[in-house]
Amino acid sequence: MEPGHYDRPINDNEVMSVKDWLITLLIMIIPCVNIIMLFVWAFSNNGNENRKNWARAYLIFLAVGIVLYILLMLVAGAAIFAMLGSLA
């Protein structure tokens, strides 16, 4: 190990270029890989802070969307169940 070199996270605070964003968005098109990469970008110690914050925000939106979807399906299922129960 070199003198003065420590195992500390390296955070990149530079502005991401258009090329970097295009690569990021292309990765987000690939099914399954996109979810894995969101977690990698959101929770890794290294990498660009802009991408890290974007990935965290995206994961929050996904979580809210999933919760709303589950609630909608529960309400719709209960309504259908009640309608079928009243027919019998």
Dump pLDDT digits (tens) for 23-36. Answer: 999 999 999 999 99
Per-residue confidence at 15, pLDDT binned at 50, 70, 90?
very high
Residue 10's pLDDT is: 66
Q: In the predicted model, is pLDDT for residue 5 greater than 70?
A: no
The pLDDT value recorded for residue 34 is 96
What is the DSSP code (8-state) at residue 46?
Answer: S
The pLDDT of residue 86: 83
pLDDT of res. 72: 98
Q: Count CB neighbours of 35 within 10 A.
A: 13
pLDDT for 69 equals 98
pLDDT interval class at 7 (50, 70, 90):
low
Tell whether pTM > 0.75.
yes
Measure the CA–CA gap between 22 and 80, rounded to whole angstroms.
44
Q: Which pLDDT value is given to residue 85? A: 83
- Per DSSP, the chain holds a count of helices (H) and strands (E) of 3, 2
